[in-house]
Structure 1
């Protein structure tokens, strides 16, 4: 089971645009075809029709339907999902199980835990705060040896890969607002900004993650420097590494003022935000958790 050297393991990509039949979805979730067809007729399940009039459901719509109703997937393979998904197996020990899978390099098992949580309807903010953040903080603590660095880098790659899978499932077809952000240089961490992007996507945003170690001037180019019609509604910054707190605080304060003048909401997070000397700028909010970001994203989506 342990895939010690399988650092770059990646689960088979899901083709979100492929479609399944009501019969296949019925087999996957244990609900009668007649019920699915009735829900489709009521507009509760998005369907398309073939030239011959047969109902088809995109995998993306099927997953959304399952998640939003907290349905149990009895036969994931029936709709092309990994056979190991098991939302019923999620319990209070799952976070520690996930940590152990990451430490042991069991990439498939670790990714299946996260996908099972996601398919059960758990918000990405909770997955990020209670599972990914929890595990990687423990893995990153302690003395840095070649072995511990291997474990941390491998665990990061496993998490990145499963988040990429999830992002294909939640990317909105019609976004109601836009967001762009990054991890502020010299912050090298990939996952915090990637998780923020995923949270905004889950709440209907077209979210663009520029990535780690990004100079603030790069985010400026993608936000306040754009023509008014092209500017995002939200910009975010993750600050997990500080080199010069005073200089970084000054940069962020200046950027926050420019965002406020442009009508862009600025979201600041990361484990080192408490060490920044940030001014009170209209439209700028500070967040200690993904749950807090999720609440903001939900309120923005509701206002659109």
Structure 2
């Protein structure tokens, strides 16, 4: 039943992405019914930023899905499309309209990346991963993007979402049976609420993971400059493509 249909859809998506085939019946694979026209219109080369600035959320969604179905990876879409656009929207003056546009853009990106994540998911994962954003970090999108990259690189990701204290991850690991342990733990850090204490917590979690044979990745816009030196011996990633490159060569699972 449903399982077979899901596999067929995944095979179709892979075929479409590998060959950049125009989609005739978008609704059949869970896309908006007007997707084919909005996504493949050669006249429409409006930028993603421009679409979000004028509140054209459906067109923005189609823009991003067209990139993905054209064969662009989730990692590239996150680094090259979403990140610069949200940074630009975040730097405009905080007027009512500016805040609204930024929030709408973030919601569209969350929905689209979740859809891509489901489409990217393979039937037989080669490794298991668990992670989220550090305690006090309310940003949902970076950790969701990491989970999407993990899925497209053949893993199965349990995304704990925003504001996940390292103690909660440690508790989860301590209460798992040996055969249900993840192969990878990630923590996304967009901002710290107490830098010194939270870096200590991250280092402690990282050591616990490595001692247990679990890979440990950290990254995010708060991990720049001298603070990175404290993470000697750990994987600190400054981009999603850095994560995907690492996962491509890592022996996990």
Question: TM-score, with normalisation over the residues of structure 1?
Answer: 0.74
Alignment-derived partner of residue 191 in structure 2: 241
Q: CA deviation at 1:239?
A: 0.6
Contiguous gaps of at least 5 residues in structure 2: none
Aligned to 2:205: 255
Aligned counterpart in structure 2 of residue 280 of structure 1, from 221, 232, 247: 232
Cα distance in 2, alignment partners of residues 236 and 146 from structure 1: 34
* Closer, same or farther: CA 228–78 of 1 in aligned 2, 3 Å: closer
Q: Which residue does 1:84 correspond to in 2?
A: 35
Aligned counterparts of 1:191 and 1:90: Cα–Cα separation in 2: 30
Q: Give me the CA root mean square deviation.
A: 2.5
SS in 1 for 2:160: strand
Q: Is the 8 A contact 1:140 1:152 kept in 2?
A: yes
Higher share in helix = 2
Number of residue pairs aligned between Structure 1 and Structure 2: 247
Cα gap change, 1:193 to 1:296, in 2 (>3 Å) = same
Which residue of 2 is the match for residue 160 of structure 1?
A: 110
Matched, 1:72 2:21: yes
Q: Which consecutive residues of structure 1, in runs of 5 or more, have no partner in the other structure?
A: 1-14, 20-56
2:138–2:162: 8 Å Cα contact kept in structure 1?
yes
Query: Is it true that 1:210 corresponds to 2:172 in the alignment?
Result: no
Indicate how the Cα distance of structure 1 residues 257 and 240 shifts in structure 2: closer, same or farther if over 3 A, else same.
same
Counterparts of 2:100 and 2:151 in 1: how far apart (Å)?
31
Number of the residue aligned with 1:98: 48
Q: CA deviation at 1:176?
A: 0.9
Task: Report which of the two structures shows the higher radius of gyration computed on alpha carbons.
Answer: 1
Deviation at residue 74 of structure 1 after TM alignment: 4.8
Task: Tell me which residue corresponds to 2:89.
Answer: 139
CA contact (8 A) 1:224 1:258 kept: no
Contact 1:17/1:60 (<8 A) preserved: no
